[in-house]
Amino acid sequence: MKEKILSVLQKYYGYKSFRRGQEEIITSILQGEDVLAIMPTGGGKSICYQIPALCMDGLTIVISPLISLMKDQVDALTAMGIEASYINSSLSSSDYNQILENIINDKYKIIYVAPERLESAEFLNIIQNKDISQIAIDEAHCISQWGHDFRVSYKKIPNFIKNLKTRPTVTTFTATASTEVRKDILNMLGLIEPKIFITGFDRENLYINIVKSSAKNKYLLEYVENHKTENGIIYAATRKEVEKIYEGLLKRDINVIKYHAGMSNEDRKINQDKFINDEVNIIIATNAFGMGIDKPDIRWVMHYNMPQSIENYYQEIGRAGRDGEKSECVLLFTPGDVHTQKYLIEMGTESVTRKSIQYNKLQQMVDLVYSNSCYRKSILEYFGEVMLGQCDNCSNCLNEGEIIDKTLDAQKVISCIYRMKRNYGLTMIVDVLRGSKNKKVLEVGFNKLSTYGIMKDYSNEELKNFINTLVSHGFLEIKENPGARGSFPTISMNNQSLKVLKGDIKVEFKEVKVAKESRNKNELFEVLSDLRKTIAVKEKIAPYMVFGDATLLSMANTYPTTKDELLNISGVGQVKYEKYGQEFINEIEKYISDNNIDKIALIKQNDSNTDDKEEFFEVKTDKNLYELLKKVRAKYARIEGIPYHMIMPKNTLKEISGRYPLDIEQLNDITGLGPKKIDKYGESIIEVVNNYVDEKNIEVKWREKKKKKLILDGESRKPKEIALDLLNQGMDIKSVSNELEISVYSILGFIYDYIKEDNELHFKFDPTVYYCEDEKELIEKSINKFGEDKMRDIKKSLPDYIRYESIRAVIIQKYIS
């Protein structure tokens, strides 16, 4: 049996060995045993029921709630020469009837069916007369109310199985299932003496990076700019947030699409297909997107908001790196995310039991975010899996900073909570500790406490993060207020708190996060990627269905030019070799010839290359070349009639002057230059740099920057920090704007962020110079209507002559008056 299933694996899928647990699961199914398999997202569940389907006589029915999965899986199977189809609500009547006729004529080995279709009398009449070898139930956790994605339609499955003349082998698969969910799957689906497989939840290739910062938008923009050529998903909690991010990226000429329930089915399908077919690299979506899509080459997943549970989070990040290649998962967190999720819980269900379960899961997710220990280890422990040591592939593990003793600060917080006598929310505790003159603080008399103002050195956000970290480590507790339907949590002491106060235990946390290195693709990879795209368009399938990224990377590093060499590449099976193999060999041979490559020597070089582990990339400006580049920029600014910095920011020019890029490929590694700007100005820049290098007889030793943090002329501060420092030194806002080539509106935004955190300004600033009284009245009305954070809505509601600077200035005036 082992030889047979390995032969099928290699012939159709191109793999020479199974992933963890797959062989054992397949063997059990082929022996006629019911199965419950719990495997991580991207762990290869589909192979576990597809290979038995190919080995057994008769038809396999796969029940799935995911329309996108059905289409992707069927397209992939068809590309491998396997007859398959699906039945769901996306089919027209004629297509549905044709598929039913094909089932009657035994055309298919595998058919995917939505659970809602199981009650169709027409479908049942046909299926009852067929030889059904296997019923495979994907996303099996959907049958349990304890699961994170309960679906009523799944309750129809047991009756469907009972109504079949002969009961087939029943197999169930899920990526996330707690003990309660497992019991429900076994009992409600009526599995008979099932074999249970838990293959492990770990996805070692995923780098988990949790960023706790209020500057979400800035982080997102910088990240997308640096990763816009890679496939990525940005998840947001609400449709409104999706639209906001979508519009923001479009304004910056980033080619993106969106996906949420407020769009029509047709528009969602069009956008999903564009993403799957590599027509667009980046999609912004609510968590409805991506369930079951098999796109293997998603290199990053970003959560703009914290998900509602660890199950949701782990399932969603599992959509990255299904090909086994290194991929990054970024979660941007602010405390406001918790309130958003609580609102969604309240609006999402009336069941008190279900609501209680969801609140508990939410708190576990919050604890994960504030944890200072290995994120992967915490997640695996949540699913009942023990991990020894650290993963060395999450932002906590890669934090190389020293352990900081925070016992004294923890004692200050706990002492303050003790003196406040009864439990209060996070905001009130922070206000007392920071010495806020908030009306509520003064009314209760907390300004008279000995702990009032003893943590002024913390910013508002820093202190909130610190207290939440104390909660996640068990030094404090969160208590929900039942009278407020869970919406107003308070913080209370526990036994651990008392031990901290007495000095019996220490509170130690790690600080400072370390950035992750990116992987590099070579030129041949891009050539092969273009060929893959051409074949995919011709055959009307997704590019990854030809070959995945990992397979192309292996080709690009080993230069296979014979049948045996190509078949030795993981992901190239006999079927795919016969369909596409010679085209790829021809392309590789042409590349070797055109570039006069010594194949053996280059393979050795690729094998010996090691990743550069430095975190920072330092550049020193060549002032003479910088002045020449400024003239090029000025010329284009005059031609296009726009400000200099809109052509290129000064820091981009400085980086060019210090790195000496000599061709367009090297120019692509310069910060602040996208494809459009390179098309417009690239040749002129390269000409100036090459002439300068020749004239000065400079020997250029080019180094790739990749994802390292750029340090320009020793300056590591962010623009916000530099701007506020210059203002503190007495420079006026207009001068700072000119010096940094940052808009006045942006600088006003820096000031707004600063004072909103209860910080005092140490420089003279008069907001009234940016507006007149008539404008102020209109602006204030709009602010009252939309809220001060809705700048775009406020601007749209006002006359065109009122500028963004005026709106921001009116808002700032409220804080300093």
Please state, in angstroms and rounded to a whole number, the distance separating the CA atoms of residues 18 and 551: 16
In a domain, 638, yes or no: yes
The reported pTM is 0.51
> Where a domain ends, among 608, 630, 650?
608
pLDDT at 445: 93
104 and 35 in a single domain? The answer is yes
705 and 723 in a single domain? The answer is no
Please state, in angstroms and rounded to a whole number, the distance separating the CA atoms of residues 232 and 46: 22
452 and 362 in a single domain? The answer is no
Q: What is the pLDDT of residues 16-37, one digit of tens each?
A: 888 878 999 999 999 999 999 9
559 and 659 in a single domain? The answer is no
pLDDT at 149: 65
Quickly list H helices, 105-178: 121-127, 157-162
Q: What is the pLDDT of residues 254-304, one digit of tens each?
A: 999 999 888 888 888 889 889 988 899 999 998 767 555 668 889 999 999
pLDDT at 89: 82
pLDDT at 1: 77
90 and 151 in a single domain? The answer is yes
Range of the domain at 242: 206-382
In a domain, 592, yes or no: yes
Amino acid at 755: I
pLDDT at 519: 42
CATH of the domain at 479: 1.10.10.10
In a domain, 518, yes or no: no
Q: Are 586 and 552 in contact (CB under 8 A)?
A: no
562 and 657 in a single domain? The answer is no
In a domain, 484, yes or no: yes
Amino acid at 382: Y
In a domain, 725, yes or no: yes
CATH of the domain at 327: 3.40.50.300
Strand partners, 136: 62, 171
Residue among 543, 665, 675, 676 nearest 229 (CA): 675
SS3 call for 399: coil
653 and 745 in a single domain? The answer is no
CA–CA distance from 532 to each of 526, 746, 816 (Å)? 10, 43, 59
Q: What spatial distance separates the first Cα and last Cα of the chain, rounded to whole Å?
A: 80
- At 255, list the tokens: 């080619």
Neighbours of 479 (CB within 10 A): 11
85 and 172 in a single domain? The answer is yes
DSSP secondary structure of 20-83:
TTHHHHHHHHHTT--EEEE--TTS-HHHHHHHHHHHSSSEEEEE-S-HHHHHHHHHHHHHTT--
CATH of the domain at 577: 1.10.150.80
In a domain, 396, yes or no: no
Please state, in angstroms and rounded to a whole number, the distance separating the CA atoms of residues 533 and 529: 6
Please state, in angstroms and rounded to a whole number, the distance separating the CA atoms of residues 212 and 473: 16
> Where a domain ends, among 510, 543, 565?
510
Please state, in angstroms and rounded to a whole number, the distance separating the CA atoms of residues 736 and 719: 11
Residue among 307, 316, 311 nearest 283 (CA): 316
Amino acid at 23: E
311 and 217 in a single domain? The answer is yes
Residue among 360, 55, 325 nearest 207 (CA): 325
655 and 729 in a single domain? The answer is no
Low-confidence residues of the chain: pLDDT under 70: 41-42, 68, 145-149, 176-179, 213-215, 288, 290-294, 335, 388-389, 399-403, 472, 480-488, 510-521, 601-616, 707, 714, 716-717, 757-759, 817
Strand partners, 212: 333
In a domain, 515, yes or no: no
Domains identified in the chain, total number: 6
In a domain, 394, yes or no: no
34 and 113 in a single domain? The answer is yes
CA–CA distance from 807 to each of 320, 776, 792, 816 (Å)? 40, 8, 10, 15
360 and 481 in a single domain? The answer is no
> Where a domain ends, among 163, 198, 233?
198
